[in-house]
Amino acid sequence: MLHAEGKVEEALTSLRKAYEIKPNSLRFKKKLDAIEGEKSSADIEGAMEEARAFLRRGLTTNAIMEYKRVLQMNGDEVRALFALGHILREEGDIEQALEYFQRAKQIDPDHLGTLLELGEIYYEKQRYNAALAEFQHLREVEPSHHEGVFNLGMTMGALERPDDALEAFDTAITLKPDDPRAYKQAGLISENSGRIVQATEYYEKVFKLDPTDDYVKDYFRRQKEGEVASALEDAFKKAVTNYNASKFDEAQLAFEEVTRLDNTHIEARYFLGRIVEGKGSVED
């Protein structure tokens, strides 16, 4: 009755006394264990909520203390282990964070947050094969986890596996089409492996989503300069060919195109001067 009315402490005290009198009573033992289990669970939830409240107020030290108090009540509480790892990682204590994440993974090998943060830590430490194992496991557990798939692509790139990296980035794009990061990384992989047309297509998507991206802006600037340089070279070759063939009208048009592309082109201006001078002599 006391337990039903919410008077847990009174119920526990009463049952403990009864159990002391009849230590062989299975009925008292079962009730005592059940109530103590409920109380422990309630205490844990209360401490977890208290820790979250401290975090919302920016009181990180207090939150850490509450999460550690949870672990004193239940050392296998994955939520507390993960939270401590996450907080310590943000504070720069990577080794301590790693220990908490590894403990959490031992208890729950499929915990998504743990797999993600473990993989990220291994990636930052350039332990790419270890990172790969975490991100692959994460993908097996949750194939639609965008950040996990994106990080898988980053790791494949670091391991110089461009085709696998592109497959992961394309999947990340499918999962989240408005995130420019996957497009950009796919563009970099394509560019570095000589797939320029493919790289340009990815970068065009980046530019639409984020016109301020400096690398992509510089890429298109370099592309434009390359196109102008190629057009300039073609126009000058055409002009010289026509000039040598005494096709001066066609040569003049071609040299004028060269100066339109580059008004400082000395050789084109020289030949234009020769053609105009020659036409003047003929008219005289």
The residue written with tokens 């080794």 in the block is: 95
Name the most confidently modeled range: 55-69, 72-86, 92-106: 92-106
pLDDT interval class at 72 (50, 70, 90): confident
pLDDT tens digits, 201-233: 999 999 999 999 999 999 999 888 887 778 788
Average pLDDT, the chain: 86
pLDDT given at position 136: 98
CA distance 7 to 1: 9
Closest CA to 85 of 40, 56, 49, 116: 116
Q: Give residue 251's identity as a one-letter amino acid code.
A: A
Please report, rounded to a whole number, the percentage of residues in the chain having pLDDT higher than 90.
57
pLDDT interval class at 259 (50, 70, 90): confident
pLDDT tens digits, 33-46: 554 445 467 787 88
Considering only 15-29, 70-84, 130-144, 180-194, which range has the smallest mean pLDDT? Answer: 15-29
Instruction: Provide φ and ψ at 247, rounded to 5°.
Output: -90, 75
Considering only 170-184, 194-208, 266-280, which range has the smallest mean pLDDT? Answer: 266-280
Q: Give residue 126's identity as a one-letter amino acid code.
A: Q
pLDDT given at position 284: 42
Considering only 110-124, 148-162, 229-243, 268-282, which range has the smallest mean pLDDT? Answer: 268-282
pLDDT given at position 126: 97
Helix, strand or coil for residue 263?
coil
* pTM, entire model: 0.71
pLDDT for residue 283 is more than 70: no
Mention every residue, 6+ apart, whose C-beta is less than 8 A from residue 123: 131, 151, 154, 155, 158
pLDDT for residue 18 is more than 80: no
